[in-house]
A and B are shown apart, each in its own frame.
Chain A
Amino acid sequence: MSFRGWYPLALSRDIAPGTSTGTRVHGSEFVIWRDDKGGAHVWEDRCPHRGMKLSFGFVRGDHIACLYHGWQYDTAGQCRYIPAHPDLTVPKTIKVPRFSVAEAGGVIWGCFSEEDDDAPPAPKLPVAAAALRSIFADCPAPLLVERVGLLDVEGLTPDVSTIDDRILEVRLGGNTLIACVQPVADKESALHIVAMEELDAAQMKPLALWAEELRRDAESFARKAAIREIAA
C-alpha cells in the first residue's frame, strides 16, 4: 500500500505529555508519543534492537524507552542509552525511522510518503473548541464514511460535507463536528472527532453516544456485507 498525504492518527488530547500509543495506517504499525515538553512524534513502531514494539514502552523526559531491554531513543530517533552497556557510546546507526508529524484541528497527523523536508503542507483546519472522541471500528474506511451521513440517533440527523477524503464536516444537532478518517487496515478504520463550538459535558454526552452507535452500526453493516460476499 502506498501512502499519500497526511493521515489523522489520534486526538491531540488523547496523547498526553509523557505517553505513547501504537497505531496503524493501511496495516503498517507506528508509535505516537509525546515528550514532556509537549512535542508529538510519529515513528516506525519497531525497536532496532530486537524489533519489539516501541509503543509498549514508556516516555521519560524527551526519550522513549523500549519495554524489553530498556534501550532509549531521543527525539531524533537516535539510540542514546543501552542499559546492558551503560558506558557505551551508542553507534549513530542505531536509529528509529521517523515521520513528519503535524497537529491541526485538535488532531495529530502523520505523513509517511516523503522525507521530512518536502512533506506536502499539513492539513489546514480551524482550531477545535472541544475534542469529542475517537472511535475504532472493524470496517473499511469508505463504509464508515458512508454510514456517518446515514445514522439518525434520537433525533440527531447528521448532515455531512466532505472536505477531502480524510476530513468530513458533520452538522449534528446544531453542532459542527469535524471527523477525520483513518484507514487503519483493510477492514479496520477510525474516526477522530472534534467539535467546533465549546460544549459542556451535557452537550458532549449525546454526541459521544451517537459516535458509539455509529461504531455499532458500521460494524453490523460490515458483518452483513461480509456474509453477502461469502454467500455470493
Chain B
Amino acid sequence: MSALTLYNYDLDENCYKVRLLLSCLGAEVGQVAVDVFPGRENLSAPMRAMSPSGTLPILKQDDFVLHEAEAILSFLARRDPDRRFLPDDPASFGRVMMWLTFSTRELDAAVHARATAMMDAPGDIEALRTAARDALRIMDDHMTRQHFEGLDYFAGPQPTIADIALFPSFALSRDYNIDHDHFPALRRWARAIRKLDGFITMPGIPDYH
C-alpha cells in the first residue's frame, strides 16, 4: 500500500484546512502541488478522474480517493487513534457535523466572495459579501454564547475539525473586504486557534511575529 498523498494548492483555503489539521495532528502526508492559477491543472482529465468537479483538495491512497475538504478532515480525524479533533460521544459528534455542514453551505459565499475579489472569478460581489457577513454573524453569535459557558470552540471545550473548517473564511475575510471589527467573539476564538499546537498559516493569514 502506498502512502497518503494530498493534492494541494497553497492559495486555496479548502486545501489549507487539510494542511492545518495535518499539522495539528503532527501527521505527515506526501503533497503534490497543483497549478490551479494560471495553469488550471485542477480541470485536467487526470484530476477530474479523482475530483469530478475539479475542486481541491484531494486525498489519495492507491484506489482510495477523497475529494471535499470536510470529508478529508473527517477521515483524517477519525484515523487519529486519540480522536483529538473528532469526539466520539453522539452529542459532540452531532455538533461537529452541524458546523461542518454550515462551513460548506453558509461559508461557500465567503469562498466565492474571496475568489471574486482576488482572482476576478465571476460573481455578484455585494451579494456574496452580504451572505458571507450573515454567516460570520451567526458564528459570532454562537461563539458569544459559547463563551458565556466558558467553551472556547464551536462544538465544545476542545477544538475539533469544525473549528478547522470554519477558521479560514474568518481569518481571510479581509481579502473580501470584511473587517474583524464587528466580530469580537470570533476574534477571541481565532486567537485560541492560533495557539493550537502545530498551528500554521497560509498566504493571506498573517503570522504575527
Contact = CB atoms under 8 A, between A and B. Distances in A.
Real complex partners, A and B? yes
B157 interface: no
Contacts of A204: 145, 148
Contacts of B148: 201, 204-205, 208
Interface in A1-32: 10-11, 14, 16, 19, 21-23
A100 interface: no
Contacts of A201: 145, 148-150
Contact of B191 (A10, A19, A136, A212): A19
Contacts of B174: 56
B145 A205 contact: yes
Interface string B161-204: 00000000000001000011110110110010000000000000
A208 B145 contact: yes
A134 B182 CA distance: 8
A133 B181 contact: no
Contacts of A16: 188, 191
Contacts of B141: 208, 212
Given A56-B174, A67-B206, A21 B145 contact: no
**B interface secondary structure, majority:** helix
Nearest to A24: B181
Contact of B208 (A55, A58, A205): A58
B144 interface: yes
B182 A136 contact: yes
A65 to B, nearest CB: 8
A118 B200 CA distance: 47
Interface string A193-232: 0000000010011001000100000000000000000000
Contacts of A22: 179-181
B24 to A, nearest CB: 22
Interface string B143-161: 0110011100000000000
Contacts of B184: 10-11, 14, 21, 133-134
A227 to B, nearest CB: 16
A19 B188 CA distance: 9
Given A16-B188, A208-B144, A21 B149 contact: no
Contacts of B182: 136, 190
Contacts of B188: 14, 16
Contact of A19 (B149, B150, B185, B187): B187
A52 B111 CA distance: 25
Interface string A113-129: 00000000000000000
A12 B145 CA distance: 17
A124 B184 CA distance: 25
Contacts of B180: 21-22
Given A136-B182, A201-B148, A208-B148, A21 B187 contact: yes
A19 to B, nearest CB: 7
A23 B185 CA distance: 15
Contacts of A55: 179, 181
Contacts of A205: 145, 148
29 contacts: A10-B184, A11-B184, A14-B184, A14-B188, A19-B191, A21-B180, A21-B181, A21-B184, A22-B181, A23-B181, A55-B179, A55-B181, A56-B174, A56-B206, A58-B206, A58-B208, A133-B144, A133-B184, A133-B185, A136-B182, A201-B148, A201-B150, A204-B145, A204-B148, A205-B145, A208-B141, A208-B144, A208-B145, A212-B141
Given A11-B184, A21-B187, 9 more contacts: A16-B188, A55-B179, A56-B206, A67-B206, A201-B145, A201-B149, A205-B145, A208-B141, A212-B141
